[in-house]
Amino acid sequence: MAESKEDVAKKYFNCTASERAAFEAGIKMGTIYHQFVGTPLSLENVEYLERAIEESVKVQPFVKRVKVHIDRTRIKKKQGFYKYLTLRGEMLNIELEVQYEDKVAVCRLEYVEDMNYPLMYVKEIRSE
């Protein structure tokens, strides 16, 4: 996890600490989605993929906590002849906390049945 370093990019941002925390969280969520959707997976490697996603996000600036869960029931239902498939957005359930200064943005990525869509959203912003 990052940030005891000075934020040298701060001068480019014309926003509050809460807005910056939300912005940083959005960048991380977009990175996860677009980097990992399409990755081959099976029941044998799903846990490794969850940890790999978490570890790749933790090295980014301002990340306080990340938890990735891939829905194994969707893997069991959709495995093909070769017993693997590729990661899809609706399989992901992620909670991410990003801290910027004294503000923490708690963000989620989860499949919302009503929308038939893997939704990324800000769950809350709090002070630490």
DSSP letter for each residue of 80-108:
-TTS-EE--GGGEEEEEEEEETTEEEEEE
Averaged pLDDT, 103-109: 98
pTM assigned to the model:
0.89
**Digit-coded pLDDT (tens) for 52-72:** 999 999 999 999 999 999 999
pLDDT at residue 84, as a whole number: 83
Q: Residue 112 pLDDT more than 50? A: yes
Q: Which domains does the chain have, with CATH numbers?
A: 14-127 (3.30.1300.20)
- Alpha-carbon distance 38 to 73, whole Å? 17
